[in-house]
Amino acid sequence: MSPNTTNLSPFRNEPFTDFSSPENKRAMHEALERARAELGQTYDLIISGSAVRTSTTFHSVNPANPSEVIGIHYAADAEQANEAVDAAQRAFSLWKKVSVAERVALLVRAANLIRQRHFDFCAWLTLEVGKNWAEADADVGETIDFIEFYAREALRLDAATTPIQYPGERNLLRYVPLGVGTVIPPWNFPLAIMAGMTAASIVSGNTVVLKPSPDAPTIAARFLALMEEAGLPDGVVNLVQGGPEVGRALVEHPQIRFIAFTGSKKVGLEIHERAARTQPGQHFLKRTILELGGKDTIIVDADGDLDAAVDGVTASAFGFNGQKCSACSRVIVESSIYDTFCDRLKERVEKLTIGTPADNFQTGPVINEVARKRVLDYIAIGKSEGKLLTGGSAIETAAGGYYIAPTVFIDVSPTARLAQEEVFGPVLAVIRSENFDDALAIANNTEYGLTGALYSGSREKLDRARDEFHVGNLYFNRKCTGAMVGAHPFGGFNMSGTDSKAGGPEYLTLFTQAKSIAEKRGSVSDVSGD
């Protein structure tokens, strides 16, 4: 039976799991055992609800132990991409007519299923992308939050009215779906962002071709299976796995009306450019919803809480090994406290435990060998641009995981490559500032504008930062990661994307088009008597 969507409770964020509880520890260990019992399975493409296989497969592996195969996946090409778009187009003709209440009911059922299998999804996140228990728990919680939040937002949007009723008319405002879109999520939040963009698309009445990251395909396949269990009709979400070839085919397809992408600046700009080119048979402008990279800064002022700042910088820089677009990769410290801050930061970072995510160490591997090499290349650059404070090397393990020690460079120039380019790994640059004006100028000197934070006890400086620190998500006296759905609508300025504000009140409007309808009163008989 579908839930009564007219009486949904007010939205509340999913609570974090307390892993100090013996019961929760046991539940997580049991979930890991269940997941390991299912490793190495082969997963099909899903087009119009049917399993599709191709002549090519690829493996997803555990970054902590690359010899451990998580899943084997069939790789799609342009042919399967076209088939998936056709399937989504057929499904759209029916799905767009399904009531908002029914679409919302589907999302609520899905959220309840994920809630019931919370630890199981945590286990898959730990094994496929190397998240420790807390990071995996936050990813699953955010997934539930996105789905529940967008369900309620869809009901709110469906009840929208025009700002005024013009005299003599009945004025309506309807938010109608765009059509077929493609969702291209990242590997670093492979459940939350993937599910969030997909849920926003379908609750708005669109149909989707989902192309996950090749580094996190198993999680997407298992999510789609859950959506089908929740009652998702065939063709509303179609799953095609693979690399850049299938992604480009989708972006350029003349019937794809929108592209929801989260990932690197380089790929995002390519998508934006390709989407702007009108294809033969295309009679609309494609919409791009882009969440890209960051070069995120925390400012530590002399009047801030130094211990809190050290903890916040450490958590922001090295949580999930710096593999977050919101991660702190630069900290700007006022000159008068610079040396003391660096000493305390070194001590704090060197206390981080490094090891297998399944055993819940604080830091683990980066996602793959390509990422490992990129980060080590930036460390080599850092050694020529600043002074190595701690870390600075790969860590070899018997299992061959992609581990790199949490690394901090001090005395880095604000214009150095290490201070300007996104590393996407466990590397932090410490920059000295002369005063608050200098700190703000440095904070704003990159091409990005995603997240930032300020530690200060001065109301005047907080107010100045509110107006002058140019980022999409700004935090005071707390870390710059960990945006909560509803409370911190997430999206950045400049080269950090289209400021789409996931988890915010305008997000669903990006997946719809507003239709204004005006009817002259009295022009036809009206049984309602209105």
User: Are the beta carbons of 236 and 91 closer than 8 angstroms?
Assistant: yes
- Is residue 328 exposed (0-12), middle (13-18) or buried (19+ Cβ within 10 Å)? buried
Residue 473 C-alpha from the chain's centroid: 14
CA distance 474 to 298: 10
* Cβ neighbours of residue 493 closer than 8 Å, sequence gap 6 or more: 448, 449, 450, 470, 471, 472, 499
Would residue 325 show up in a list of annotated catalytic residues for this protein?
Answer: yes
Pairing of strands 403-404, 45-47: unpaired
Contact status, residue 448 vs residue 492, Cβ threshold 8 Å: yes
- Please tell me what DSSP assigns to residue 329: E
Q: Which two tokens stand for residue 213?
A: 């990251």
DSSP 8-55: PPPP-PPPPP-TTSHHHHHHHHHHHHHHHTTTTEEE-EEETTEEE--S
Give dist(CA 118, CA 348) in Å, integer.
31
* Annotated catalytic residue within 83, 122, 135, 325: 325
Contacts of 304 (CB under 8 A, 6+ apart): 454, 455, 456, 457, 477
Secondary structure class of 189 (helix, strand, coil): coil
User: 292: alpha, beta or left, given left = phi > 0 and alpha = psi -120 to 50?
Assistant: beta
Separation of alpha carbons 224 and 217, rounded Å: 11
DSSP state of 135: H
- Cα distances (Å, whole numbers) of residue 499 to 51, 197, 511: 36, 14, 14
Q: Catalytic residue among 135, 148, 291, 422, which? A: 291
CA atoms within 13 A on the CB side of 152: 18
Q: 24 is written with which tokens?
A: 């929760």
Question: What span, in angstroms and rounded, lies between the C-alpha atoms of 45 and 31?
Answer: 25
- Catalytic positions, please? 291, 325
